[in-house]
Structure 1
Amino acid sequence: MSRTLIRNASILSMDPAVGDFAQADILIEGDRIAAIGPGLNAAADEVVDGTHRIVMPGMVNAHIHTWEFQLRGIGADWVGSRDYHANLHKKLATYYTARDVYLGNLLGALNQLRNGTTTIVDWCHILRDAEMTDAAIDALEESGIRAVFARGTVKPPEREGAVPYYKQPFPRDEIHRLRTGRLATDDGLVTLAMAILGPDWGEYDVAVHDIRLAREYGLFNSAHTYGRKGKRVVEDGYPRLAREGLLGPDHNIGHGNCFDDTELKIVLDAGCTITATNLTEMLNYEQPAMLGRLVKHGATPSLGTDCDPYFNSSMLWVMRHAFLHQRELDNRSLHAEGKWPASTQHSTLTRDAIYWATMGGAKAFGLDGKTGSLAPGKQADLIMIDTRGMNIFPAHAGGNPAHIVVMYAETSDIENVMVAGRFVKRDGRLVFDAGRLARVTDELLASRLRLFQEGSFKSVPVERGPQPGRFLV
């Protein structure tokens, strides 16, 4: 079993039992953390210099539609979910092949690793058949990322004589095939969940069927909430599910920001988790992201990047904006109550944002025993941030590490990324065959241009893309 020793690093463990260290070592044996502490007396096959580096858990992106990667840069000026669904689900997605899904998932996952995310919840709602499903999983496995593969279903345009998507129960055969086949256990890097319609996007009987199917196979299930009253497929869907005992800690809610206080209490009392995609909420919703409201109820937010067509899917971005967004709401509340400026420490701190971006996502999908923090016995999912570059300098000299990570660090400062004890980014570059990376990059660009052509998508000019081999360095 190989042993790697990281020496003399500043450590943000995000585990209160372990604590943080201004300077300490981390010993990794195989895929797990063996020890953390100052001056570890341990032999190792490789010693990594942690001087002037911050080591912290890899981030957990708890909600991303990875397949959308080749559609980046087209949606920020759209009018909310109306244009999103019209352009993606009802148009471009209908031209996706299994190979397109594979390419989006592979380069999308590699981009997450490059940005310091070691775990994603791949909310894959483009899948029409087993071939597309397997292509998505193939890509995740090849990338080396830890992933919860949330197998979803398509939302195509309604056609005369066809059953609309919101009336269609989740395909049992697919879940049985995956759960008795390649994703039969929860021990691998890629594990299975269900991305279901839920009562906001599907009829009530469909939601009941899907949740019961997930329970039958021991799977987490996650649903989007449209949020606005009067726009949901089932107006009282979540209260009804709660009354029937169908909600629990195995049910995750994406967004949730339009829940009123009564609805929020119902789903939290049932044990559900909520993932904020706060950049999307800022862009498209009339209500703020579900962050501080969760904390007030004693719940832990989790964070996700959501949609690549809108913005850079970096969890550093999401974490920073979550902190700033909630601080803005805190400040305005204090002012409205005549308590401005705050007489004591602010209620939202930079460390809170890191916790949401690491342990929050891990807890939401039952991964907190494996990842989300640095502790002996846990999987070695970690990132090393070099604090000597101009993004951070001179904050590295005595600055607060949590403050540095949230408010200064960028992708270029993430020097090393490790998943299950294996480096997937080293010395600032992905550990992925350069020739293969160039080939799939070219193929993805061709995929993008073909999708635009076949989908008659002309809302933005189609320009020549990056030069071969220049992507993701």
Structure 2
Amino acid sequence: MSQNLLIKNATILSMDPAVGDFADADILVQGDKIAAVGPNLNAGDAEVVDGRGRIVTPGMVNAHIHTWEYQLRGIGSDWVGNRDYHANMHKKLALHYEARDVYLGNLLGALNQLRNGTTTIVDWCHILRDAEMTDVAIDALEESGIRAVFARGTVKPPERPGEIPFHKKPFPREEVHRLRTGRLASDDRLVTLAMAILGPDWGEYDVAVHDIRLAREYGLINSAHTYGRKGKRVVEDGYPRLAREGLLGPDHNIGHGNCFDEDELKLVLDAGCTITATNLTEMLNYEQPAMLGRIVKYGATPSIGTDCDPYFNSSMLWVMRHAFLHQRELDNRSLWKEGQWPAKTQHSTLTRDALYWATMGGAKAFGLDRKTGSITPGKQADLIMFDTRTMNLFPGGAGGNPAHLVVMYAETSDIENVLVAGRFAKRAGRLTFDAQRLERLSEELLHSRLRLFEQGQFRCEPVERGPQPAHFHI
């Protein structure tokens, strides 16, 4: 059981309009829940945590990450989109993953998320071949202490003669039944279950129908990778067909979706689907912008995630900042195109919006907003404390905009404390996970990486540059 805590005299960004924000107030944590928010709260027998010079926000929600890829960092930023990603990841390196590799990636990857201020992840785990891999992936999440939606996915090997290709394979019912009637039967625990399905972009239509119906049978959210690029989908009219059959709803999450045209976007949002942008991936690899402002235009809330560790730093601080900058750039270009530059009123995208996407956005997308995403009495005590006395944030805490400071300035080193369900996962700038064990696991993860490279015959080759296109500017 978590102990009672009183965070005293902090700047609070609650992300809950009913609670409001405070320049100098307290947060009372009783057990795993937030009991009260406001000035001059009575500590009782609670441990007092000094909040002076700190900004407290809800823990961030990373709504789309392939945590198992953690040991493959630093190899993919110069790849060409999905072509090289699938060739190197799913058709090469993933083939050599064993259960222990999944465990190591998930455990250290989750700890890294906690270190960076993320208290909840949607672990889109599409490396799983069997129950053993599945179970150790969950073991790792539980041992880390993070809150996680374990989106159980399936492996995507290359096609081989005589074998059924992955895009024709329905989700394994026996695994859903085993998990949903076993260790992940309850939705009132730190690690809960969802399904990471192929969807109509990556699987045949009957497979998509089967998978969505299976998820509904077991009361699970299902999430699909969906770029929406016409001419590249397995099923060109998949989403309109699913909508007509009543198979789309708030229980269907779309990862990416950045190439949807306006009619398709409106169709999925009208059906209640949620969309998660992994804006760094979209900026890196795709021809259309991340789904941020386009979602807001229809009155929906974006969620954001880090996606792939092989590409870049998987800190939600990075993603949140770049989401804001990316959308602000698009806003500026639109104003210029419409002859309304400079803006006559406040910009349509503010730093606070990005913080909301990184907290409540992800919580809403996966049905966790009754538990987390805001500093609200009755919700779980998932909190971040930023120390504004650091050189990086100083002196912005004195009369500055705290949301602006968090989104545009904060780095991992500025995160003093991280709490998940009232327990410290990071305290005084250090993870509370056993340091000696972390050192041993890190050494083992390095050996895992090198073995995967050797068995997968993988090398980071220099990039061959072709002629630069006419629109390339220096």
Q: Same fold (TM over 0.5)?
A: yes
The whole-number CA distance in structure 1 between the counterparts of 2:216 and 2:228 is: 25
The whole-number CA distance in structure 2 between the counterparts of 1:49 and 1:301 is: 33
Q: Indicate yes or no: 2:82 matched with 1:81.
A: yes
1:246 aligned residue = 247
2:309 aligned residue = 308
**Residues 256-289 of structure 1 deviation map (CA, whole Å, 9 limit, x = unaligned):** 0000000001100100000000000000000000
2:267 aligned residue = 266
| 1:5–1:44 Cα contact (<8 Å) kept | no
Aligned counterparts, 1:217-236, within 5 A:
217-236=218-237
2:350 aligned residue = 349
| 2:227–2:258 Cα contact (<8 Å) kept | no
1:18 aligned residue = 19
Q: Indicate yes or no: 2:156 matched with 1:155.
A: yes
| 2:396–2:405 Cα contact (<8 Å) kept | yes
The whole-number CA distance in structure 1 between the counterparts of 2:281 and 2:68 is: 17
**Further displaced range: 433-442 or 39-48:** 39-48
2:467 aligned residue = none
- AA paired with 2:357? W
Aligned counterparts, 1:117-196, within 5 A:
117-196=118-197
Aligned counterparts, 1:264-343, within 5 A:
264-343=265-344
The whole-number CA distance in structure 2 between the counterparts of 1:34 and 1:352 is: 26
1:210 aligned residue = 211
Match of 2:235, SS? Answer: coil
| 1:201–1:226 Cα contact (<8 Å) kept | no
**Residues 42-66 of structure 1 deviation map (CA, whole Å, 9 limit, x = unaligned):** 3133100000000000000000000
The whole-number CA distance in structure 1 between the counterparts of 2:408 and 2:361 is: 19
Q: Quote how far apart the aligned CAs of 1:313 are.
A: 0.2
Q: Indicate yes or no: 2:101 matched with 1:116.
A: no
1:375 aligned residue = 376
Match of 2:55, SS? Answer: strand
**Residues 298-321 of structure 1 deviation map (CA, whole Å, 9 limit, x = unaligned):** 000000000000000000000000
Q: Quote how far apart the aligned CAs of 1:459 are.
A: 2.0
Match of 1:390, SS? Answer: coil
1:471 aligned residue = none
The whole-number CA distance in structure 2 between the counterparts of 1:9 and 1:218 is: 39
Q: Quote how far apart the aligned CAs of 1:20 are.
A: 0.1
2:406 aligned residue = 405
**Residues 327-352 of structure 1 deviation map (CA, whole Å, 9 limit, x = unaligned):** 00000100111000001000000000
Match of 1:423, SS? Answer: strand
The whole-number CA distance in structure 2 between the counterparts of 1:138 and 1:70 is: 17
Match of 1:329, SS? Answer: helix
The whole-number CA distance in structure 1 between the counterparts of 2:368 and 2:48 is: 28
| 1:4–1:48 Cα contact (<8 Å) kept | yes
Report the TM-score when normalising by structure 1: 0.97
| 1:282–1:289 Cα contact (<8 Å) kept | yes
- AA paired with 2:235? V
The whole-number CA distance in structure 1 between the counterparts of 2:192 and 2:75 is: 31
Aligned counterparts, 1:323-472, within 5 A:
323-460=324-461
| 2:317–2:411 Cα contact (<8 Å) kept | yes
The whole-number CA distance in structure 1 between the counterparts of 2:356 and 2:124 is: 22
Report the TM-score when normalising by structure 2: 0.97
The whole-number CA distance in structure 2 between the counterparts of 1:394 and 1:85 is: 45
**Residues 332-387 of structure 1 deviation map (CA, whole Å, 9 limit, x = unaligned):** 10011100000100000000000000000000000000000001100000000001
- AA paired with 1:435? Q
1:197 aligned residue = 198
2:465 aligned residue = none
Match of 2:23, SS? Answer: strand
Match of 1:113, SS? Answer: helix
The whole-number CA distance in structure 2 between the counterparts of 1:409 and 1:398 is: 16
Match of 2:301, SS? Answer: coil
The total of aligned residue pairs comes to 461
Q: Quote how far apart the aligned CAs of 1:458 are.
A: 1.3
The whole-number CA distance in structure 2 between the counterparts of 1:93 and 1:415 is: 35
- AA paired with 1:408? Y
**Residues 70-129 of structure 1 deviation map (CA, whole Å, 9 limit, x = unaligned):** 000000000011000000000000000000000000000000000000000000000000
| 1:386–1:415 Cα contact (<8 Å) kept | yes
The whole-number CA distance in structure 1 between the counterparts of 2:178 and 2:108 is: 26
2:468 aligned residue = none
Q: Which runs of 5+ in 2 are unaligned?
A: 463-474
- AA paired with 2:220? L
Match of 1:77, SS? Answer: coil
| 1:74–1:460 Cα contact (<8 Å) kept | no
Q: Percent identity?
A: 84
**Residues 410-454 of structure 1 deviation map (CA, whole Å, 9 limit, x = unaligned):** 000000000000000000000011111011000000000000000
Structure 1 vs Structure 2 CA RMSD: 0.8
Match of 1:286, SS? Answer: coil
Q: Which runs of 5+ in 1 are unaligned?
A: 462-473
The whole-number CA distance in structure 1 between the counterparts of 2:461 and 2:314 is: 20
The whole-number CA distance in structure 1 between the counterparts of 2:228 and 2:428 is: 43
- AA paired with 1:122? D
The whole-number CA distance in structure 1 between the counterparts of 2:439 and 2:392 is: 28
Q: Indicate yes or no: 2:47 matched with 1:46.
A: yes
- AA paired with 1:43? G
- AA paired with 1:6? I
Match of 2:281, SS? Answer: helix
- AA paired with 1:34? A
The whole-number CA distance in structure 1 between the counterparts of 2:163 and 2:392 is: 54
Match of 2:396, SS? Answer: coil
The whole-number CA distance in structure 2 between the counterparts of 1:449 and 1:153 is: 24
Match of 1:447, SS? Answer: helix
Q: Quote how far apart the aligned CAs of 1:460 are.
A: 4.8
Q: Quote how far apart the aligned CAs of 1:198 are.
A: 0.1
- AA paired with 2:440? R
The whole-number CA distance in structure 2 between the counterparts of 1:303 and 1:159 is: 35
- AA paired with 2:300? A
Match of 2:76, SS? Answer: coil
The whole-number CA distance in structure 2 between the counterparts of 1:275 and 1:189 is: 21
The whole-number CA distance in structure 1 between the counterparts of 2:326 and 2:4 is: 41
